[in-house]
Amino acid sequence: MVIGDDLTRDDLVRLVYELHDRVVSLEGENAELQEQLRELLKSQGPRSGGGKREAPPWVKANRPAPADDAGPKERKKRAENHGRKLEAATEEVIHAVEVCPDCGRRLSGGWEHHRRQVIDIPAPSYIVWDHIYLRRYCGVCRKDHLPRPDLTSEVTGKHRVSNRIMALVTYLRIGSRMPLESIQENLRVQYGLSLSNGELTRILQTVSELCRDQYEALLEEVRSSPVVHADETGWRENGVNGYLWAFLTETVRWFTRKQSRGSVVPLTVLGRNGSRIVVSDFYTGYSPLMCKKQRCWVHFLRDLKKLDEDNPEDRGVKAFRAKIHKLYEKAVAYRTMQLTLKGPVPIRILSRRVELREKFEEALMRLAQPHLGKSKDPCRKLAERIKKYLYEFFVFVEHPQAPPENNLAERALRPTVVARKISGGTRSARGSEAMAILRSLFATWACRGLAPYDACLALLASPHH
């Protein structure tokens, strides 16, 4: 059977036309490939006199070889030595050949050829001090006398471990966010010291009680501050969900654990001082505070970005986001300029700040107005948020000392969130209170540039605790 015997004349004509079109297409592809090959060969540059093709112009040329009589090039000296600096040696070990390996003659003297530095740590071990109290009799007074030495700088209360160990345990628990089991293992491996979970818990509770006065003092500093950052995160206590609240200033970190997430907590902590500014997210628990409130722009801009990502083809959403972002940048630029002013601020500038705040609020409301009341408009929810919190968006324009975002509180809570994921929370109300007190003190010491371990040790050694 010959191929095509079962095809009609029309089928054969159609097949011929298809083959013709295919040949024309292949010829076109071939011509394009030939043209690309010519461009590639052209980009590689002409051949040199020896027949070797020169490198393309986009290839970096090799460094020219130095002339035979030029000699070694002098190395450029650095203005500052950035090499690894040697530590101050605490001990020296001399290595010298005592006997000549060739003739056996005894050698002496010599000069330093080089030195190698090795850094090591001593194998630590704990020390146990037995304080022996001797009672002595006075034959003249006919009385027994017992010494009463002051050991406050060494040990706290009736504890058998020293202040240094208590400070270390507290630092590992709060500063390094280590579970009690890890602290036990660390003390055993490093020092050969074995402490039970119960003893570690008593140490933490004792230190927290000694920190209580400073903890209360930090709360008063927060209440008297003109700008307070506030935030909250989840914290379980004995398997029951609750919340860790954070109230912060530039130099104070204050935490408290409460079962409630209601507005009663910020009202109780901060009181009804109307002269301060509270910076927070858009949680309604802060709304009852009778003071100025600055809502976090970072949260709002993040929601705008998510809105844009969820509606990539909607030009109205993109325009809504771009206009709001541009308005925010203008407000931030004005605040930055105001922060450069020195000395008392003139009345006219204070009045100008109020006017600009009102203008920014009007401009933001104009952007939100077209989207209000439209159930199918993707921008409706954020527009309604603008309407609800309109007078809490640009407080930072009138009062530049208040930032437009709540990053301070977000960063301060991050170590606590990590600790929560490690430990899962606390087991009792006393443990939650100790945790809040110690985290407040350790975080405050850190933000003030103090070493938390040293500060804790100094507190324990203080005769006034």
pLDDT, position 380: 94
Question: Which tokens hold the place of 199?
Answer: 């003893």
Using CA atoms, how far apart are residues 81 and 224, in angstroms rounded to an integer?
49
Using CA atoms, how far apart are residues 461 and 397, in angstroms rounded to an integer?
47
- Is the Cα dihedral 192, 458, 197, 414 positive or negative? negative
pLDDT, position 368: 95
For the residues of 278-310, what is the DSSP string, one character each? Answer: EEE-S-GGGTT-SSEEEE-HHHHHHHHHHHHHH
The residue type found at 464 is H
What is the tens place of the pLDDT at every residue in 47-106? 555 556 666 666 677 777 766 666 667 777 777 766 778 788 888 899 999 999 999 899
Q: Does residue 351 surpass a pLDDT of 90?
A: yes
pLDDT, position 70: 63
CB 69 within 8 A of CB 81: no
Residue with the larger pLDDT of the pair 69 and 152? 152
CB neighbours of 369 closer than 8 A, spacing ≥ 6?
A: 383
Using CA atoms, how far apart are residues 228 and 270, in angstroms rounded to an integer?
9
Using CA atoms, how far apart are residues 271 and 274, in angstroms rounded to an integer?
9
CB 197 within 8 A of CB 184: yes
pLDDT, position 242: 92
Where do the domains of the chain lie? 211-294+407-452, 297-398
pLDDT, position 1: 43
Name the helix (H) or strand (E) containing 228: strand 227-234
pLDDT, position 2: 47
The torsion of the CA quartet 381, 387, 391, 394, rounded to 10 degrees, works out to: 50
Listed range (59-73, 93-107, 238-252, 275-289) with the worst mean pLDDT = 59-73
pLDDT, position 71: 66
Listed range (34-43, 178-187, 212-221, 454-463) with the worst mean pLDDT = 34-43
Residue with the larger pLDDT of the pair 412 and 123? 412
The per-residue pLDDT of the chain, averaged, comes to 88
For the residues of 116-180, what is the DSSP string, one character each? Answer: ----------------PPPPEEETTTTEEE------TTTB-TT-SSBHHHHHHHHIIIIIS---H
For the residues of 298-352, what is the DSSP string, one character each? Answer: HHHHHHHHHHHHH-TT-HHHHHHHHHHHHHHHHHHHHHHHHHT--SSPPHHHHHH
Q: Does residue 431 surpass a pLDDT of 70?
A: yes
Instruction: List, edge to edge, every strand of the sheet that includes 277-280.
Output: 253-258, 243-248, 227-234, 277-280, 292-295
Q: Which residues pair with 324 in a beta bridge?
A: none
**By CB neighbour count within 10 A (0-12 exposed, 13-18 middle, 19+ buried), where does 286 fall?**
buried
CB 364 within 8 A of CB 327: yes
- Give the predicted TM-score (pTM) of the model: 0.74
Listed range (74-83, 243-252, 291-300, 376-385) with the worst mean pLDDT = 74-83
Closest CA to 297 of 271, 346, 331, 322: 331
What is the tens place of the pLDDT at every residue in 134-146? 999 998 998 999 9
Q: Which residues pair with 237 in a beta bridge?
A: 240, 426
Using CA atoms, how far apart are residues 296 and 210, in angstroms rounded to an integer?
36
337-346 CB contacts, 8 Å cutoff, 24+ apart: 338/400, 339/400
Residue with tokens 């969820």: 310
% of the chain residues with pLDDT over 90 = 61
Closest CA to 393 of 401, 385, 21, 230: 385
Question: Which tokens hold the place of 292?
Answer: 């100025």
Question: Which tokens hold the place of 222?
Answer: 């927060």
Name the helix (H) or strand (E) containing 210: helix 197-210
Which phi and psi angles does 338 have, rounded to 5°?
-65, -30
**What is the CATH number that goes with domain 211-294+407-452?**
3.30.420
pLDDT, position 357: 95
